Amino acid sequence: MSEIGVIGAGAFGTALAITLAREGHTVALWGRDGAAVAAMAEARENTRYLPGAALPETLRPTAELSRALDADTLLIAIPAQQVRPFALARAQALTGKTLVSCAKGIDLESGVGPAATLTAACRDATVAVLTGPSFAADLARGLPTALTLAATGPGAPALQARLSGAALRLYLTDDLTGAELGGALKNVIALAAGLTIGAGLGESARASVITRGFAEMQRFAQTLGARAETLAGLSGFGDLVLTCTSEKSRNYGAGLALGRGAARPGGTVEGVATARAVVRLAAHHGVEMPIAAMVAAVLAGRLSVAQARKALLTRPLREE
């Protein structure tokens, strides 16, 4: 039996599996593409998503989901929009497990995050959230990384200790809502920051987008029950800074390309679906989120970048 199962063999799932295996855990890394998993097992490297990062001997890639589900602790590292169908289809197999959500987003259909999705689908499971500023390549190289682990109950400190290591330091909170929303919302603001630079509006404008975007994140999250200090921590502000300032961020990179005139981003860019979900939820709760609304409008083709810029700059003046 594997000690830990990682669901999702993309870049971040692979990096987490490598990190945990280096700490002496036996890890089963599940990917749905059988050929890709076989190639990974043979090469001892995820050449598609994380080239150059060797897989430790105690990391076992597998396309057989049952092998990963044998573990009592599962890290769910699949895209946010895939969490709900995955959990609903396998609710019985997930019963009694510790499920650590590593996805960052809000489900378009249900309007809730991955942790709430897992809790609803697998009522006997213990659900936690692992989030914060981290790039898979840095984690896989063993570079120092600090993340937030949101968990409740008497077993939370033990889970924190189990998942921490020499290069991965976890800070514990019991605010699952705040931790999860920080990770989801920062992707929307990262798209806006990328759009700003891509459209040639400058570094000063990007700083304004990050700052006012953070204010939107706080308003929205607190309305949904999150604590302000959670958003000011690694899972909110920390992740926002990283994601809005590096082209290694998929969301920032997608916004950058869009601002330069490229087509609407494809692939896994979590902020695209999250922007739609957030704007819908913000309207329902009466939360003002002008930057998120402009991102959603640009992505939907309802506004050009120039029109969005004008709309934001001509809003009524107000106190900060």
Percentages (nearest 5) of helix, strand, coil residues in the chain: 50, 10, 35
Calpha distance 52→54 (Å, rounded): 6
Provide CATH code, domain 181-313: 1.10.1040.10
What does the pLDDT read at residue 7?
Answer: 98
Exactly one of 97, 186, 248, 310 is catalytic; which is it? 186
Q: What is the mean pLDDT of the chain?
A: 94
What's the pTM value of the predicted model, to 2 decimals?
Answer: 0.94
Which ranges in the chain are annotated with CATH 3.40.50.720?
Answer: 4-174
Residue 310 a catalytic site member: no
Provide CATH code, domain 4-174: 3.40.50.720
Q: What are the tens digits of pLDDT across the range 254-276?
A: 999 999 988 777 667 899 999 99
Which ranges in the chain are annotated with CATH 1.10.1040.10?
Answer: 181-313
What does the pLDDT read at residue 266?
Answer: 67
Torsion, Cα of 16, 114, 191, 130 (10° steps): -30
Residue 39 in tokens: 């190639």
Q: What are the tens digits of pLDDT across the range 53-102?
A: 999 999 999 999 999 999 999 999 999 999 999 999 999 999 999 999 99
Average pLDDT for residues 209-221, to the nearest whole number? 97
| CA-to-CA separations, 61 to 12, 47, 76, 149, 256, in angstroms, rounded | 14, 13, 15, 25, 34
